[in-house]
Amino acid sequence: MTDRSQNLYSLFESRFPKDRNDVALETESGATYSFADLQAQSARMANALVSFGVAPGDRVAVQAPKSAAALFLYLGCLRAGAIFLPMNTAYTPKEVDYLLRDAEPAVFVADPQNQAVIDVAKAAGVNHVLTADAAGAGSLADAATAASDAFETVVRTGDDIAAILYTSGTTGQPKGAMLSHDNLASNALTLHKAWGFVPGDVLLHSLPIFHAHGLFVALPCALLNGTKQIFLAGFDVRQVVERLPRATVFMGVPTHYVRLLGEADFDKTCTANMRLFVSGSAPLMEETFREFEKRTGHTILERYGMTETVMNASNPYDGARVPGSVGPPLPGVSVRVCTEDGQELPQGDTGVLEVKGPNVFKGYWRNPEKTASEFRDDGFFITGDLSRIDENGYVHIVGRAKDLIISGGYNVYPKEVETALLELPAIRDAAVIGVPHADFGEGVTAVVVAESGHVDEVGVIATLKQGLASYKVPKRVIEVSEIPRNTMGKVQKNALRETYKDLYTP
Ligand code: MLC
Ligand code: AMP
């Protein structure tokens, strides 16, 4: 590494502890990896990628189970100067196919169990389709094992792209958000400081590492702190309860907190060692915040962000954590509340939140028109979240200007699901809404009109699952004779949400 490099990995490495034998990672099985292992294994991954022809700026797409090897792969990509492109493990072959054709990666790493996706990647013309499983086995691991454990991290500027994360959109078409080394580094440093990380902290990491929350918020805080993280393959409530006594920091989506509160032994004793619980990716119900405080004595710290901006606002570490608010903007981030056409509103009014700062992404991959349409001329990014800023400067996310459902922390764009429904011959008309759901926050729900006769709800759900990741598939498909529309022909989704508001929470 040279002093000038702004490679994110180099920043992480500069914060590794003096004693590189300290534990960096403990996995579900109890296996541990030191910081020296992190360096050596990420070097092996970087060398393996280079041996497959990966050059700086090339995309490395990954749809693999969360594991220590998957983390080494991420770090190896950064070190090689490649662009890491993680995909939700729930994506179907059809969804993966679209992303591969759009991103044109040099390498795709798949789960060896997922032959259908491997076939799709080969058909899409990806040069190297490799495999990696949860146990760290597969062709990529074989190549890494054979490779050297020394690698000189490639020099990157702050503006070079470190990762592309695809998000769907209101048009139903996924778009790749390009995040630079500097976007990720500046945000991680800000969070690490704002949340008071101290030597000896242990992060309990149970989030997926294919989305911003697990990859750009939780993971870098632990790496910058140079301390251990307990790295679970996913959120399993019993595993989390069992490990919390050995952790000090936990980050989760509201569904995780709801599920923790469902456990009888989740209490003050279990959380006695904990310093901080962070929530985000979806609104945390005030009821959950209060119940959590009553049960554990801890106040959850809620923060707000999105894929395109990483984190924008956070309740304070020291100071009042206000339920229903996501706190003031983070240092370096500017926020304003505007009308849909960009006029700034007076303090206290509700409008669309716009943000600007070193955290805001570089644009959508090969999509300058879309990028231009989501930025103002003065560089503010239009989040699409309805918000209000109170007299203390705290931001309140009060709704969405965009047609989006957030289920268990995953975004589901109704348009994408409606398009899939309308492709079914049995369905003439369809509207997809989110309504309150005790576990997932919002439950994806379809309201449909049959072409003729009746719609087979179970059959529709099963068919949709072939093309859509199953978390996007409606939990219920409700047949009606007509979908309410206004005089302009626009579906009256508010009316539908009101009609079905008790569907999952009687
Ligand atoms: C799983 N299922 C879901 C779901 N997750 N359904 C709706 N919404 C979800 N989020 C369904 C599956 O499709 C499957 O259905 C069934 O539940 C069992 O699957 P599973 O994988 O075993 O589920 P489980 O492990 O219980 O997962 C639930 C969860 C998970 C809440 C633990 O969804 C999760 O970890 N969510 C976190 C998402 C996250 O990290 N978001 C951050 C985005 S970044 P079937 O029918 O097939 O059986 C971002 C920016 C920011 O938003 O601000 O952070
Ligand atoms: P994603 O595109 O997956 O990054 O999702 C980002 C969206 O999640 C934001 O635009 C918000 O709508 C929502 N979000 C994230 N954090 C919060 C929060 N704390 N409260 C309310 N909504 C949130």
Measured from CB, residues less than 6 Å from any atom of ligand 1 are 207-208, 211-214, 234-235, 253, 255, 280-281, 305-307, 407-410, 440, 470-471
Query: How high is the pLDDT of residue 3?
Result: 53
For residue 350, the surrounding DSSP H or E stretch is strand 350-356
Question: Half-sphere exposure (CA, 13 Å, Cβ side) for 134?
Answer: 13
Instruction: Extract the tokens encoding 485.
Output: 């529309």
pLDDT in tens, 285-315: 999 999 999 999 999 999 999 999 999 999 9
Cα–Cα distance measured from residue 181 to residue 185, given in angstroms and rounded to the nearest whole number: 6
What is the 424 CA–ligand 2 centroid distance (Å)?
31
Please state, for a pLDDT cut of 90, what percent of the chain lies above it. 96
Which CATH architecture best describes the domain 30-179?
3-Layer(aba) Sandwich (3.40)
Q: Inform me whether the pLDDT recorded for 505 exceeds 90.
A: no
Query: How high is the pLDDT of residue 349?
Result: 98
Query: How high is the pLDDT of residue 136?
Result: 84
Nearest ligand to the CA of 410 is 1
pLDDT in tens, 238-274: 999 999 999 999 999 999 999 999 999 999 999 999 9
H/E/C letters for each residue in 385-419? Answer: EEEEECCCCCEEEEEECCCCEEECCEEECHHHHHH
Q: Strands, E, within 111-184: which ranges?
A: 128-131, 161-167, 175-180
Nearest CA to ligand 2 atom 7: 306
Query: How high is the pLDDT of residue 1?
Result: 44
Q: Inform me whether the pLDDT recorded for 189 exceeds 80.
A: yes
Decide: helix, strand or coil at residue 333.
coil
Tell me how long the chain is: 506
Nearest ligand to the CA of 311 is 1
Measured from CB, residues less than 6 Å from any atom of ligand 2 are 167, 212, 280-283, 302, 304-307, 326, 383, 385, 397, 400, 406, 411
Ligand 2 atom at minimal distance to the Cα of residue 212: 4
Cα–Cα distance measured from residue 212 to residue 190, given in angstroms and rounded to the nearest whole number: 15
Q: Inform me whether the pLDDT recorded for 411 exceeds 90.
A: yes
Please state, rounded to an integer, the average pLDDT across all residues of the chain.
96
Q: Inform me whether the pLDDT recorded for 373 exceeds 90.
A: yes
User: Which residues lie closer than 8 Å to 194 by C-beta, 6 or more apart?
Assistant: 314, 316, 317, 330, 331
Confidence of residue 135 (pLDDT cuts 50, 70, 90): confident
What is the 1 CA–ligand 1 centroid distance (Å)?
38
- Comparing CA positions, the residue from 123, 117, 90, 86 lying closest to residue 103 is 86
Cα–Cα distance measured from residue 333 to residue 144, given in angstroms and rounded to the nearest whole number: 39
CA distances from 190 to 125, 195, 221, 325 (A): 40, 9, 9, 19
Mean pLDDT of 312-326: 97
What is the 441 CA–ligand 2 centroid distance (Å)?
12
Q: Inform me whether the pLDDT recorded for 502 exceeds 90.
A: yes
Confidence of residue 47 (pLDDT cuts 50, 70, 90): very high
Instruction: Extract the tokens encoding 366.
Output: 């090969």
Q: Name the strands in the sheet holding 301-306, side by side, starting at the edge strand that comes first in the sequence.
A: 32-34, 23-27, 229-231, 203-205, 249-252, 276-279, 301-306, 310-314
Task: Domain ranges for the chain, please list them.
Answer: 30-179, 404-499
Taking every pair of Cα atoms in the chain, the longest distance, rounded to a whole number of angstroms, is 71
Query: How high is the pLDDT of residue 142?
Result: 95
What is the 76 CA–ligand 2 centroid distance (Å)?
29
Mutation to probe ligand 2, out of 385, 398, 400, 407 (largest number of atoms < 8 A from CB): 385
Ligand 1 atom at minimal distance to the Cα of residue 90: 13
Nearest CA to ligand 2 atom 12: 385
Nearest CA to ligand 1 atom 2: 471
* Residues 249/276, Cβ–Cβ less than 8 Å: yes
pLDDT in tens, 416-474: 999 999 999 999 999 999 999 999 999 999 999 999 989 999 999 999 999 999 999 99
- Bigger pLDDT: 432 or 134? 432
Query: How high is the pLDDT of residue 2?
Result: 46
What is the 73 CA–ligand 1 centroid distance (Å)?
23
Query: How high is the pLDDT of residue 236?
Result: 98
For residue 9, the surrounding DSSP H or E stretch is helix 8-14
Mutation to probe ligand 1, out of 184, 241, 470, 476 (largest number of atoms < 8 A from CB): 470
Ligand 1 atom at minimal distance to the Cα of residue 439: 31
pTM of the full predicted structure?
0.97
Query: How high is the pLDDT of residue 18?
Result: 97
Nearest ligand to the CA of 253 is 1
For residue 287, the surrounding DSSP H or E stretch is helix 286-296
Cα–Cα distance measured from residue 329 to residue 314, given in angstroms and rounded to the nearest whole number: 6
CATH code of 404-499, in short, is: 3.30.300.30
Nearest CA to ligand 2 atom 5: 306
